Amino acid sequence: MTSLVVDNIGTLLTNDPDAGAGATGVVRDAALVVDSGRVVWFGPRDDQPEGTDERVDAEGRAVIPGFVDSHAHLVFAGDRTGEFAARMAGKAYSAGGIASTVAATRAADEPSLGANLRALVAEALASGTTTIECKSGYGLTAFDEARSLQIASSATDEVTYLGAHLVPPEFAGRADDYVELVCGEMLDACAPFARWVDVFCDRGAFDRDQSRHVLEAGASRGLIPRIHANQLGPGPGVEVAVAVGAASADHCSYLSDSDVDALASSSTVATLLPAAEFSTRSPYPDARRLLAAGVTVALASDCNPGSSFTTSMPLCIALAVREMRMSPDEALWSATKGGAEALRRDDIGNLAVGARADFVLLRAPSHVHLAYRPGVQLVAAVWRQGKLCG
Ligand code: NIG
Ligand code: FE
């Protein structure tokens, strides 16, 4: 692969704290040099090394790391337009809607599930997402969950086993029996295709003991825990996350003081999903309280057909800034480096020397425009592993 220099960058955000002002490592009037899919140099453009093969003129615009979307549910069929319309007319969101997507997903064939997944991944890429995590959770049989994970693996290397998304209708009233399946035969079928194990620990889904059992069973097979926690109300999700050393506790909309303290003294990232609150018309999580306590905060889309049908990380950033009072710098960091930390990756979400050359040229002089100009397509071009996409 030939080397590339992106020159004349007005604002370069590296997320390399050694590089410049603040955690986002900002360099003004910068250049970025890429070779063999990795960052090999960045700095003031006047100091750039000579002799690169290809040159891109950023025309004074901003370059940021590609977004790392660490929470998405992309293997499904059908949509839930009717449920959304009913919700906008006043009906509350509940976990129960998941069952209708489960029925549609079981009935769908592999090519159509794969095509839907690829379309969503392409949509995410067009809005700047260069890494996306993908969960199963709409199959809920050993066969359908393993099939979902195999399909997910064809589009991303961050694949999560979420057999414990909901107790499926055929196990109604027998939740513990279903948990045994999730931790037994279904785990056997799924473990080879996933890196992570997840559980929906909430009202209408799985309780403390069931959730812990699922995460520990997954961990015993080499899967790393992450969890849907405290989305619909207060509950034990965060406690379970910290007890099992989960990489991330996701949603965190209803937290007690002890939940916040537990997160602050752990390595578990709090992943906030403001597009879910936006789409379910629910109260946003208290990001400022988490940040003040020193918790590492990530932002992700939660793209799924029920509670958050968007792949747009710029939307999540705009909501985080406007509704959750994160600063534009905090929101940008959480949507890039924060997501990488939630996925325990140090090669993405930053543009330090040696990092993967996943980056976005904005049609704007700074990343602040992502919140300042909500709903506007500000992504001018995206590079993944040093290659221009699209
Ligand atoms: O993260 N909370 C559980 N899972 C999804 C919702 C899935 C659905 O409604 O289909 C979420 O919001
Ligand atoms: Fe989710």
Q: Which atom from ligand 1 is nearest to the alpha carbon of 306?
A: 9
- Which residues of the chain are in CATH 3.20.20.140 domains? 67-342
Whose Cα sits closest to atom 6 in ligand 1? 307
Whose Cα sits closest to atom 1 in ligand 1? 302
Three-point CA angle 334, 338, 342, nearest 5°: 140
Whose Cα sits closest to atom 5 in ligand 1? 307
Average pLDDT over residues 219-228: 98
The rounded Å distance from CA 240 to ligand 2 centre is: 17
Whose Cα sits closest to atom 3 in ligand 1? 200
Long-range interactions of 77-81: CB distance < 8 A, separation 24+: 77/101, 77/104, 77/105, 77/107, 77/108, 77/112, 77/113, 77/116, 77/138, 78/104, 78/105, 78/108, 78/305, 79/305, 79/309, 80/305, 80/306, 80/309
Task: Give the residue, out of 70, 73, 76, 161, with the most ligand 1 atoms within 8 A of its beta carbon, to mutate for a pocket test.
Answer: 73
- Mean pLDDT for all residues in the chain: 96
Whose Cα sits closest to atom 8 in ligand 1? 306
Q: Which atom from ligand 1 is nearest to the alpha carbon of 250?
A: 1
The rounded Å distance from CA 375 to ligand 1 centre is: 23
Average pLDDT over residues 136-161: 97
Whose Cα sits closest to atom 9 in ligand 1? 306
pLDDT in tens, 334-372: 999 999 999 999 999 999 999 999 999 999 999 999 999
The CATH class of the 67-342 domain is: alpha beta
CB-CB contact of 141 with 186 (8 Å): yes
CA distance 278 to 280: 6
Q: Which atom from ligand 1 is nearest to the alpha carbon of 138?
A: 10
The rounded Å distance from CA 95 to ligand 1 centre is: 7
**Of residues 250, 263, 294, 269, the one with CA closest to residue 344:** 269
Point out the ligand nearest to the CA of residue 76: 1
Percent of the chain whose pLDDT exceeds 70: 99
Point out the ligand nearest to the CA of residue 230: 1
The rounded Å distance from CA 124 to ligand 1 centre is: 18
Average pLDDT over residues 125-140: 98
Q: What pLDDT, on the 0 to 100 scale, is given for residue 95?
A: 80
Dihedral sign computed on CA atoms, order 149, 150, 152, 156 = positive
Taking the model in full, what pTM does it have? 0.97
The rounded Å distance from CA 347 to ligand 1 centre is: 28
Chain-centroid distance, C-alpha 10: 28
pLDDT in tens, 234-274: 999 999 999 999 999 999 999 999 999 999 999 999 999 99
Task: Give the residue, out of 98, 251, 271, with the most ligand 1 atoms within 8 A of its beta carbon, to mutate for a pocket test.
Answer: 98
CB-CB contact of 301 with 72 (8 Å): yes
Return the CATH fold of 4-65+349-388. Urease, subunit C; domain 1 (2.30.40)
The rounded Å distance from CA 17 to ligand 2 centre is: 30
Q: Are strands 26-35 and 4-13 parallel, antiparallel or unpaired?
A: antiparallel
The rounded Å distance from CA 146 to ligand 1 centre is: 19
Task: Give the residue, out of 133, 200, 277, with the most ligand 1 atoms within 8 A of its beta carbon, to mutate for a pocket test.
Answer: 200
Q: Which atom from ligand 1 is nearest to the alpha carbon of 80?
A: 10
**Which tokens is 45 given?**
């453009």
Q: Which atom from ligand 1 is nearest to the alpha carbon of 71?
A: 1
The pLDDT-based confidence of 31 (bands split at 50, 70, 90) is very high
What phi, psi does 264 have (nearest 5°)? -65, -30
Average pLDDT over residues 86-113: 93
Point out the ligand nearest to the CA of residue 274: 1
Enter the DSSP assignment of 145.
H
Give the three-class secondary structure for 312. coil
Pocket of ligand 1 (CB under 6 A): 73, 97-98, 101, 200, 228, 231, 276, 302, 304-308
pLDDT in tens, 286-342: 999 999 999 999 999 999 999 999 999 999 999 999 999 999 999 999 999 999 999
pLDDT at 1 over 60: no
Please report how the helices 237-244 and 257-264 are oriented relative to each other, as an axis angle in degrees rounded to 10. 20
pLDDT at 2 over 70: no
